[in-house]
């Protein structure tokens, strides 16, 4: 019996925070009650390994069944505390990054199950090498250093066989007649060199200039700190892309679908050479998907390989996908893989000399699922259970044809190129509010085209794979088990009824976890904006900060100046002022887009010599003549809602103090720009402090919050422009109001609340932003 064989054993597990690792921990705790677990977990940037284990492993719904069987959370926590020890370690580090206590615990283990991996098919080459290729070897080397002969069960993948047709038996990778003689050490050196070369290339003046320009196009006049952060983010992304491309190219040159399969294959070879006295068993799953039965049918964690493609198809985003109708899609439920791992661990090494034995966990040879059958099952299910669009209408799924990978890629690349051109054209226009949605819609379609192209690039090779993975060792192991173990630790792919699995188990689970809309009744569903609005207006919030221009009122500093400057002019002078401002408009717009603070400094110099007394007198009248006529009633109501909830309300704007002074009764505090005054009672046109725009606005808000003991994470900010990003990003609940094009796109990407507020009907503002002369 497996539970008897594992009784009293101490088992170390790597990769326990992942999909397979979590299911493995759950099964060992529930079905092998006499064993102890040592979980090797990599520390997070913000959390300890114990915190990661609690949040990412034991709070997962995978353990709901065990919690219920034990009688509740308290008993479950007691079980975990008694049987599980979490230690800090990293398989990407020599020596596994273990401290002395961790080394002692590892040395005391009878079995080590290594399931940690970078499983993404687009991992950077160097990361895949460090984790997938060198990770198993590092474990074996550490065990040898500790004098341990613990049984190492290494989880690999069936796709180490590469892009091939026909039988792929359970043999060592380098015993295959199709094996290309590759020195894995040279591959390690090469990957590290590619990283160094890419890092160096990313720092050349030409590349940095290009990245800075890209950041500027995305963020506009967001301020130097944000532009610098975005440039560095783009530099890191560029380096990663070079490494991803290098991994794909190298894998393709050697006959593997991607760097994941290549580094797993080379990892098996390296482990066989470096295992020393450590006995090794290798378990190779095919594509792991949701559970057939354990712990519950359909249990899944995160999106696997097929899910993004399936959901994109159900949304009508993918109308074609490369594939061979008669090809085999070799998927295997996660619980069957867990059963095989537990059985291998309980059995021990299969070879007397401890050399690696191979067990493949796949369905293609014993119970094949053909690509055409899968497509038909998916299409029929979504025909009966459609997803719904934002308007509450069912999405009709297309007939999915079978075509070549190159044809689909070509179509998607052309679509992406056209959408990129349209996006650049729209971003150059001064669009705002609902008009900016045009640009956001185009960008959304471009993102969808990019995503579909990525799926084709990543997964297209797998759907065309015609390798048939042998499972003789797997079926032999299943047959060797006692009857009770065959049920409790089932690993037999022949039990899967594919129609039942796809229709009744897998697709319902995928749709549930994708959080997509499955109900056309709009009245019963709280839409995203309503949910975000409810969060913004929660009593838990502490402060609400508002920009002024195009957030509270449809006006700007130029309009205010024009009104004040023309207040006491005759008709001819008014027309001359109007003509001058209109002629300067393109230059002012360019300056504003480049740097908001520089624009304000430049523009406010026009007030030089103006009488303080006269300006303040006129500004008081401007409240009723201009500001109120251009205000957004919904915005005023929102300010009052925040005050009624006890939130501190702050107006923070680059507008001048005399312009916003009449609004003081509406807010608890006002932070604004001010000019110096000479001894004649006239404005000098020079600022007292840096105007609160861009990063200085964020700094002002930060200082204000600190002075009043306010938590910015529990605060709200309202603004309309990408230049306001520093302020929006410093709070926990940013709101984009009538956003211009860049902010509209960013708000959509980041899931922020977007409000479209308009002026009250009935007002007829003047054609020009000037008052009548008198």
Same fold, 1-182+255-286+330-365+470-491 and 533-755: yes
* pLDDT value at residue 697: 84
The pLDDT of residue 233 is above 70: yes
Confidence of residue 769 (pLDDT cuts 50, 70, 90): very low
Whole-angstrom Cα distance, residue 580 to residue 562?
11
Per-residue CA distances from 198 to 25, 252, 262, 390, 530 (Å): 39, 20, 21, 42, 45
Average pLDDT over residues 20-44: 95
Element of type H or E holding 499: helix 498-500
* pLDDT value at residue 184: 95
- Is beta strand 543-546 parallel, antiparallel or unpaired with respect to 331-333? unpaired
Tens digits of per-residue pLDDT, 299-308?
998 765 567 7
Q: What backbone torsions phi and psi does residue 601 show, to the nearest 5 degrees?
A: -60, -45
- Residue partners of 110: CB distance under 8 A and separation at least 6: 9, 10, 11, 150, 151
Average pLDDT over residues 609-633: 81
Whole-angstrom Cα distance, residue 385 to residue 383?
6
SS3 164: coil
Peptide bond into 295 cis (omega under 30): yes
- Residue-range domain boundaries for the chain: 1-182+255-286+330-365+470-491, 198-253, 305-323+371-465+505-522, 533-755
Tens digits of per-residue pLDDT, 717-742?
999 888 888 889 889 999 999 888 77
Q: Is the Cβ–Cβ distance between 389 and 395 less than 8 Å?
A: yes
The average confidence (pLDDT) of the chain is 86
Confidence of residue 766 (pLDDT cuts 50, 70, 90): very low
Q: Model pTM greater than 0.75?
A: yes
Confidence of residue 771 (pLDDT cuts 50, 70, 90): very low
* pLDDT value at residue 425: 66
Q: What is the dihedral of CA 68, 70, 76, 78, to 10 degrees?
A: 160
Higher pLDDT, 550 or 440: 550
* pLDDT value at residue 660: 86
Element of type H or E holding 315: none
Report the CATH number of the 533-755 domain: 3.40.50.1000
* pLDDT value at residue 419: 65
Confidence of residue 39 (pLDDT cuts 50, 70, 90): very high
The CATH class given to the 1-182+255-286+330-365+470-491 domain equals alpha beta
């Amino acid at each position: 019996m497996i539970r008897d064989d594992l009784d009293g054993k101490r088992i170390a597990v790597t990769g326990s925070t992942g999909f397979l690792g979590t299911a493995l921990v759950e099964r060992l705790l529930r079905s092998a009650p006499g064993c102890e677990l040592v979980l090797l977990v990599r520390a997070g940037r913000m959390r300890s390994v114990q915190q990661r284990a609690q949040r990412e492993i034991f709070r997962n719904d995978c353990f709901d069944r065990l919690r219920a069987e034990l009688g509740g959370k308290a008993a479950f926590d007691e079980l975990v505390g008694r049987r599980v020890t979490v230690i800090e370690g990293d398989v990407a580090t020599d020596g596994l990054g273990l401290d002395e206590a961790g080394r002692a615990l590892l040395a005391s283990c009878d079995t080590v199950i290594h399931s940690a991996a970078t499983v993404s098919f687009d991992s950077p080459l160097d990361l895949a090498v460090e984790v997938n290729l060198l990770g198993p070897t590092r474990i074996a080397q550490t065990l040898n250093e500790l004098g341990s002969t613990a049984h190492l069960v290494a989880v690999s993948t069936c796709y180490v066989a590469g892009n091939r047709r026909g039988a792929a038996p359970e043999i060592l990778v380098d015993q295959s007649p199709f094996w290309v003689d590759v020195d894995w050490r040279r591959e390690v050196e090469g990957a590290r060199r590619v990283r160094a070369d890419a890092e160096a290339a990313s720092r050349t003046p030409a590349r940095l200039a290009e990245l800075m320009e890209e950041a500027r196009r995305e963020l506009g006049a967001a301020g130097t700190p944000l532009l610098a952060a975005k440039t560095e983010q783009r530099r890191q992304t560029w380096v990663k892309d070079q490494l991803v491309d290098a991994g794909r190219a190298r894998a393709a040159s050697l006959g593997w679908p991607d760097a994941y399969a290549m580094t797993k294959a080379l990892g098996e070879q390296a482990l066989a050479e470096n295992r020393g006295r450590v006995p090794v068993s290798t378990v190779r799953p095919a594509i792991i998907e949701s559970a057939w039965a354990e712990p519950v049918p359909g249990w899944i964690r995160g999106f696997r390989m097929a899910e993004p493609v399936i959901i994109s198809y159900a949304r009508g985003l993918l109308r074609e996908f490369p594939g061979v109708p008669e090809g085999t899609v070799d998927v295997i439920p996660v619980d069957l893989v867990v059963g095989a791992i537990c059985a291998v661990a309980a059995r021990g090494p299969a070879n007397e000399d401890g050399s690696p034995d191979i067990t493949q966990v796949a369905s293609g040879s014993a119970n094949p699922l053909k690509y055409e059958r899968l497509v038909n099952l998916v299409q029929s299910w979504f025909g009966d259970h459609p997803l719904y669009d934002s308007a509450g209408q069912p999405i009709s799924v297309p007939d999915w044809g079978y075509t070549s990978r190159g044809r689909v890629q070509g179509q998607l690349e052309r679509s992406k190129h056209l959408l990129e051109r349209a996006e650049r054209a729209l971003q150059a226009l001064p669009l705002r509010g609902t008009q900016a949605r045009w640009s956001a819609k185009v960008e959304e379609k471009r993102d969808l085209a990019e995503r579909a192209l990525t799926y084709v690039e990543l997964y297209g090779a797998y759907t065309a794979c015609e390798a048939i993975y042998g499972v003789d060792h797997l079926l032999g192991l299943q047959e060797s088990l006692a009857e009770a173990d065959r049920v409790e630790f089932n690993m037999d792919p022949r039990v899967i009824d594919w129609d039942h699995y796809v229709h009744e188990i897998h697709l319902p689970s995928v749709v549930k976890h994708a959080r997509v809309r499955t109900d056309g009744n709009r009245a019963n569903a709280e839409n995203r904006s309503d949910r975000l609005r409810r969060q913004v207006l929660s009593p838990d919030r502490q402060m609400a900060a508002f920009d002024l221009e195009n957030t509270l009122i449809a006006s700007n500093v130029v309009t205010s100046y024009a009104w004040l400057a023309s207040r006491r002019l005759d008709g001819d002078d008014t027309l001359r002022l109007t003509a001058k401002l209109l002629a300067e408009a393109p230059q002012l717009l360019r300056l504003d887009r480049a740097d908001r603070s520089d624009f304000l400094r430049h523009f406010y110099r026009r007030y030089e010599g103006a009488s303080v007394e006269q300006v303040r007198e006129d500004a008081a009248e401007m409240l009723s003549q201009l500001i109120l006529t251009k205000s957004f009633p919904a915005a005023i109501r929102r300010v009052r809602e925040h005050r009624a909830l006890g939130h501190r309300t702050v107006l923070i704007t680059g507008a001048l103090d005399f312009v916003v002074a009449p609004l003081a009764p509406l807010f608890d505090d006002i932070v604004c720009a001010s000019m110096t005054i000479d001894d004649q009672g006239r404005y000098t046109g020079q600022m007292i402090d840096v105007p609160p725009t861009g990063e200085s606005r964020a700094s002002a808000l930060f200082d204000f919050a600190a002075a009043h003991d306010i938590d910015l994470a529990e605060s709200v900010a309202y603004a309309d422009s990408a230049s306001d990003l520093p302020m929006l990003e410093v709070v926990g609940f940013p709101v984009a109001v009538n956003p211009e094009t860049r902010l509209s796109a960013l708000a959509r990407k980041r899931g922020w609340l977007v409000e479209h507020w308009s002026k009250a009907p009935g007002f007829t503002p003047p054609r020009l932003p000037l008052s009548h002369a008198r």
